[in-house]
């Protein structure tokens, strides 16, 4: 414990949760897809595609089962520029969180765009998936970069 | 329906970092003040309900310690929500409606300064596909703000005006953390924190607590000369995924406002707990407030945001203005989840 | 390709790590600073005079703030209940089996959890008189771990009535 001039003693504490989450059949296929460098969205009854996929339709509650490939390119619907990333965040240099609507998907999903600098970001810009060297089947296997 | 009223309210000062007191010690004087103001004793309480978050405290079952400030022996009828105290108030209201209690104590407390709050808030996102990217709370709100700006739903000037208004109001609120006379032009020339949000668009990080005493018409007169009667209360939730919601309006606020009967009469005072300036505008619109309503006379969440206590404090602030005769009819709002995912609306009358 | 590679993923490891700076608060800080000096502090409820150990901000029975001067307690007390632990736990560095005990310090109205040492397992019983075994003084810090364990005292057992409310 450190003892400063304050009346209260303080101590650093790191809380760790070793979560191991069951994926279930639908998300199991989604993350297996990522491992195999393929992005899959869930097809709804009206033909629209939900990305990220969900087990149930958020509007109708109908069970969803059919996964279809989406991306790897897409459009930035919104973005936020993170100039000073925190240690937990996926990149150690400035980057953008963005709502990306992948080609073939009807909803935007939150991900990361490695654009180098803020001036390279623009709503409506095209981005494409960049895979990490060793995809293991996690959402962090992906990063998006501005389309050349 | 039974008539249920807010008959007492107290709150701590919102502080960026409460150095000398733990959560229980923050809560103790707040409950003490409520006891003195209303004259309630533990024998009066038939139900106790609190709102707090173990993630803020960094320890499991952290809320149990809060009961030290209540006094829980002989054992009390108690419940807890891992949400803002406004939802604890809703549970207590239901309990009174069911006829299980006439008097209930509700409180909320949080000490987010112990951790890195924007990062802790990432844990409320989808744990499979979103949370592992660690989107901090400010970045997530910024995504919504840009949708509003790009979509022409509002301007950054309007956002600045909301912040200026709140912080000017907060000058008369001794519990506020950020108060003063700011000017819109000056604010708009400031750099971005997480573009398109500037620092002034964000609520401060606050340690604090708030408490409310609720009573049915059988007992309200024992504690208050002018109770603030709850005439409508509703909370509505949207899906978790940001991509399946319209982030440029607050549908859940609109629905909750309609069900709570906001539009049934003139609203003198509105207390909103939106933690970002653009969200405050969305909530104001969702409630359908007009020019004859004074919005956030206390300064709202932009003047002090003690997480888990801030929504309950809005209900308390609105009720206090009815009790002191400033307002005849008021609305209070609380929110939870990313980008106004869930909203609670409470209509109070004198 | 192995079977493992073709099979769908079933689980994902998603570790979470969050950094906090805990603050003990006024009452606990007072207690911890005192134990650094080898003193055990309790506090008296203003309503019924019960002594809570360690010091805390409020009387949990009445919900009343406790602001008065702390009460210094001796390091002797009565073992009010115990359990012989034979199951290992990653967080407890003690040799098995060990005796987990609840001790009512003399003059206190609440019990403390600790372990019993220097004692034959067969002889442990309720009502035993015990004393704290402290670490060497130069190792004392703001921690309850300054007390290594409790040891039996060569004294007659406490009368059941004197601790029956604390079991």
Token pair listed for B84: 């803002």
Alpha-carbon separation of residue C120 from C13, C84, C101 (angstroms): 45, 11, 14
3-state SS, residue C29: helix
C101 and C33 share a domain? no
Establish, for the pair of chains A and B, how many residue pairs have beta carbons separated by less than 8 Å: 113
Phi, psi of A114 (to 5 degrees): -95, 90
User: pLDDT (tens digit, 9 = 90+) per residue, C130-152?
Assistant: 999 999 999 999 999 999 999 99
Question: Is pLDDT of A4 > 50?
Answer: no
Q: What is the ipTM of this complex?
A: 0.94
C83 and C60 share a domain? no
| Best CA proximity match to C50, nearest among C133, C3, C110 | C110
User: pLDDT (tens digit, 9 = 90+) per residue, A59-113?
Assistant: 899 999 999 999 999 999 999 999 999 999 999 999 999 999 999 999 999 999 9
C68 and C79 share a domain? no
Say which DSSP state C157 is in: P
Alpha-carbon separation of residue B226 from B45, B218, B222, B321 (angstroms): 20, 14, 10, 10
Is residue C16, in this structure, part of any structural domain at all?
no
B143 and B93 share a domain? no
The answer to whether the CB of A107 falls within 8 A of the CB of B243 is: yes
Residue A3: pLDDT band (50, 70, 90) is very low
Domains contained in chain B, number: 3
User: pLDDT (tens digit, 9 = 90+) per residue, C43-53?
Assistant: 999 888 999 99
Alpha-carbon separation of residue B78 from A148, B73, C71 (angstroms): 60, 12, 31
C107 and C160 share a domain? yes
Instruction: List C residues 108-137 in contact with A (Cβ-Cβ < 8 A).
Output: none
The answer to whether the CB of B167 falls within 8 A of the CB of B299 is: yes
B184 and B256 share a domain? no
Q: Are residues A31 and C23, on separate chains, in Cβ contact within 8 Å?
A: no
Is residue C50, in this structure, part of any structural domain at all?
yes
Q: Are residues B22 and A8, on separate chains, in Cβ contact within 8 Å?
A: yes
Instruction: List C residues 31-60 in contact with A (Cβ-Cβ < 8 A).
Output: 32-33
Say which DSSP state A55 is in: S
Shortest CA gap B270–chain C (Å): 33
Residue B244: pLDDT band (50, 70, 90) is very high
C94 and C137 share a domain? yes
Is residue C12, in this structure, part of any structural domain at all?
no
B253 and B306 share a domain? yes
Residue B183 or C8, more confident: B183
Give the mean pLDDT of chain B: 96
CA C79/CA C82 separation, integer angstroms:
7
Note if the bond before A95 is cis, omega within 30 degrees.
no
Cβ neighbours, 10 Å, residue B286: 26
Is residue C1, in this structure, part of any structural domain at all?
no
B211 and B184 share a domain? no
Domain assignments of chain A as residue spans, ordered by start: 24-146
Token pair listed for B158: 């309007």
Chains adjacent to C (≥3 CB pairs closer than 8 angstroms): A, B
B64 and B133 share a domain? no
Question: Is pLDDT of C59 > 50?
Answer: yes
Chains adjacent to A (≥3 CB pairs closer than 8 angstroms): B, C
**Exposed e or buried b per residue across B121-138, where buried means at least 16 C-beta atoms within 10 angstroms of its C-beta:** bbebbbebbbbbbbbbbb
Domain containing residue B310: 228-349
CB nearest to B58's CB, from C20, C28, C58: C20
Domain containing residue C56: 24-73
Mutation target among B45, B53, B68 for the C interface, most CBs of C within 10 A: B68
The CATH number of the domain holding residue B73 is: 3.40.47.10
Domains contained in chain C, number: 2
Q: Are residues A80 and B19, on separate chains, in Cβ contact within 8 Å?
A: no
3-state SS, residue B122: helix
B140 and B236 share a domain? no
As separate numbers, helices (DSSP H) first and strands (DSSP E) second, chain A gives 1, 9
CB nearest to C8's CB, from A3, A8, A29: A29
If 0-12 CB within 10 Å is exposed, 13-18 middle and 19+ buried, where does residue C103 land?
Answer: buried
The answer to whether the CB of C24 falls within 8 A of the CB of C54 is: no
C93 and C68 share a domain? no
Predicted pLDDT at C92:
76
Is residue C5, in this structure, part of any structural domain at all?
no
Q: Are residues C9 and A28, on separate chains, in Cβ contact within 8 Å?
A: yes
**Exposed e or buried b per residue across C123-143, where buried means at least 16 C-beta atoms within 10 angstroms of its C-beta:** ebebbbbbbbeeeeeeebebe
C137 and C84 share a domain? yes
B29 and B165 share a domain? no
């Amino acid at each position: 414990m450190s003892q400063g001039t304050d009346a209260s003693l303080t101590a650093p504490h790191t809380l760790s949760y070793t979560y191991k989450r069951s994926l279930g059949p639908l998300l199991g296929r989604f993350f297996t897809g990522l491992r195999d460098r393929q992005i899959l969205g869930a097809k709804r009854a009206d033909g629209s595609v939900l990305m990220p996929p969900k087990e149930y339709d958020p509007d109708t509650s109908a069970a969803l089962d059919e996964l279809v490939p989406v991306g790897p390119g897409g459009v930035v619907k919104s973005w936020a520029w993170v100039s000073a990333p925190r240690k937990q965040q996926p990149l150690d240099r400035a980057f953008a969180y963005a709502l990306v609507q992948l080609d073939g998907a009807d909803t935007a999903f939150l991900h990361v765009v490695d654009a180098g600098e803020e001036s390279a970001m623009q709503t409506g810009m095209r981005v494409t998936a960049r895979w990490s060297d060793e995809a293991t089947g996690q959402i962090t296997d992906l990063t998006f970069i501005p389309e050349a | 329906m039974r008539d249920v009223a807010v008959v007492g309210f107290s709150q701590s000062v919102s502080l960026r970092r409460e150095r000398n007191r733990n959560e229980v010690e923050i809560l103790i004087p707040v409950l003490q003040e409520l006891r003195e103001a209303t004259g309630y004793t533990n024998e009066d309480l038939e139900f106790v309900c609190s709102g707090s978050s173990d993630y803020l405290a960094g320890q499991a079952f952290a809320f149990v310690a809060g009961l030290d400030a209540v006094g829980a022996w002989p054992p009390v009828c108690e419940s807890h929500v891992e949400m803002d105290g406004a939802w604890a108030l809703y549970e207590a209201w239901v309990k009174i409606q069911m006829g299980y209690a006439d008097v209930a104590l509700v409180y909320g407390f949080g000490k987010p300064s112990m951790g890195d709050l924007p990062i802790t808030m990432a844990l409320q996102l989808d744990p499979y596909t979103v949370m592992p990217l660690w989107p901090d709370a400010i970045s997530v709100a910024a995504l919504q703000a840009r949708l509003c700006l790009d979509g022409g739903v509002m301007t950054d000037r309007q956002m600045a005006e909301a912040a200026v208004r709140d912080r000017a109001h907060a000058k008369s609120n001794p519990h506020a953390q950020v108060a003063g006379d700011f000017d819109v032009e000056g604010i708009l020339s400031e750099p971005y924190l997480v573009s398109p949000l500037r620092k002034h668009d964000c609520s401060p990080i606050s340690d604090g607590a708030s408490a409310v005493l609720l009573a049915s018409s059988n007992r309200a007169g024992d504690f208050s000369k002018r109770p603030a009667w709850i005439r409508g209360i509703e909370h509505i939730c949207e899906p978790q995924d940001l991509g399946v919601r319209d982030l440029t309006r607050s549908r859940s606020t609109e629905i909750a406002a309609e069900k709570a009967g906001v539009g049934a009469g003139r609203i003198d005072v509105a207390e909103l707990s939106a933690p970002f300036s653009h969200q405050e505008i969305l909530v104001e619109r969702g409630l359908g407030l007009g020019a004859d309503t004074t919005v956030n006379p206390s300064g709202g969440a932009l003047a002090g945001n003690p997480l888990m206590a801030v929504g309950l404090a809005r209900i308390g602030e609105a009720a206090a203005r009815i009790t002191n005769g400033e307002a005849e009819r008021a609305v209070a709002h609380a929110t939870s989840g990313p980008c106004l995912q869930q909203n609670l609306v409470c209509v109070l009358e004198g | 390709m192995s079977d493992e590679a073709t099979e769908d993923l079933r689980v994902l490891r998603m570790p979470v790590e969050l950094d906090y700076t805990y603050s003990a608060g006024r009452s606990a800080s007072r207690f911890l600073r005192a134990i650094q000096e080898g003193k055990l502090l309790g506090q008296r409820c203003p309503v019924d005079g019960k002594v809570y150990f360690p010091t805390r901000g409020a009387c949990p029975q009445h919900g009343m703030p406790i602001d008065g001067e702390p009460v210094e307690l001796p390091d002797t007390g009565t073992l009010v209940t115990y359990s012989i632990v034979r199951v290992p736990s990653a967080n407890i560095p003690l040799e098995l089996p060990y005796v987990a005990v609840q001790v009512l310090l003399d003059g206190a109205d609440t019990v403390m959890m600790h372990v019993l040492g220097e004692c034959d397992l067969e002889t442990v019983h309720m009502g035993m008189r015990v004393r704290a075994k402290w670490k060497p003084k130069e190792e004392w810090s703001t921690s309850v771990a300054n007390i290594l364990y409790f040891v039996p005292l060569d004294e007659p057992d406490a009368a059941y009535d004197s601790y029956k409310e604390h079991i």
